[in-house]
Amino acid sequence: MSADLRLGDAGTRGRRVVLSIDGKSVTAYEGETVAGVLLAIGHVQSRTSPTRGEARGYYCGMGQCWDCALVIDGRPNQRACMTPVTDGMRVETQTGFGPTRPA
């Protein structure tokens, strides 16, 4: 079995981008969503829920359930399934409501 869950050869998937996921450097391909990258490498938990602290991840895959929401470039509550990756993007698993950052 291949190292990750992507179909096709790495060479056929287009331009590479590098992002960080919880501080670790990860190679992905332009056009992929954050959710696609996370699932491809087996990182299925996007957040812990604010009230019960339960693990949540990619569920509806079409932007409606918000369970895949996590912290992207410091902004909490960003849906992994609706966000394309970019070079240098910082993705972090979200705890509860995530960081409150001054606007």
Partner 1 sequence: MTLPASAETVVVGAGIIGLTTALHLARAGREVVVIDKAEPWREGSAVNAGTCALQNKATDLLPAYRHGLVEWRRLVSELDDDIGFVNRGGLRVAQSAEDVAALRAGAADQATQGVQLEWLDGNELRDRAPWLAPTVTAATFCADDSFASPLLTGQALIRALRRAGGTVAVAGLTGQRAKDDGYELTTTAGLMRCRNVVIATGAWTDRAAAMFGIDIPVLLHVNTLSVTERIGQFMDNMVVTHIAGKFTLKQFPNGSCILGGGFQGRGDKDSGRKELDLDQLKANIRYQCSVVPQLREANLLRSWVGFTAIAHDNKPTVGPMPGRPGLYFAFSTNAGFSMGPFVGRAVAGAVMGQPMPDLLQGFGPGRFAA
Partner 2 sequence: MSGEILVIGAGPAGLAAARTAADYGARVVLIDDNRQPGGQYYRHPASEPLRAVRDDLFDEATRGADLLAAATGPNVAHYPGAVFYGFFDDGIAAFAHDDRIIRVTPGATIVAAGATERPVPFPGWTLPGVMGAGAVQNLLKGQRTLPGRRILVTGNGPLTLLAAANLVRCGAEVVEVLEAAANRPPLAMIPRLLLEPGMLARGIGYRAILARHRVPFRSRHVIVEAKGSTRVEAVVVAPIAADGTVDHARARTLAVDTVIAGFGLVPASEITSSIGCEHVHDAGKGGWIPIRNDDLETSRDGVFAAGECAGAAGVEKALLEGELAGLAAAMRVGAAAGPGAEIHRDALRRRLSRLMAFRVAIEAIYQAPASLLSLMRDDTIVCRCEEVTLAEARRWVREGVNEANSLKAITRMSMGRCQGRNCASTLTRLIAAESGIDVAEVTPPRPRPPLKPIGVAALAADP
Footprint of partner 1 (CB under 8 A): 50, 75-77, 96-103
Query: Applying CB under 8 A, does 81 fall inside the site for partner 2?
Result: yes
Residue with tokens 């705890």, as numbered in its chain = 95
Query: Applying CB under 8 A, does 88 fall inside the site for partner 2?
Result: no
Pairing type for strands 45-48 and 94-95 reads: parallel
| 24 or 75: CB nearest partner 1 | 75
**Nearest alpha carbon to residue 21 among 50, 52, 44:** 44
Among 18, 20, 24, 30, binds partner 2 (CB under 8 A): 30
**Nearest alpha carbon to residue 32 among 59, 5, 54:** 5
Give the C-alpha separation, 27 to 59, whole Å.
23
Residue 42: how many other CB atoms lie within 10 Å: 8
DSSP state of 40: H
| 1 or 25: CB nearest partner 2 | 1
| Distance in Å, CB of 59 to partner 1, minimum | 17
Residue 98 near which of partner 2, partner 1, none (CB within 5-8 Å, type-dependent)? partner 1
Site for partner 2 in 40-59 (CB under 8 A): 40, 42, 44-46, 49-52, 54-59
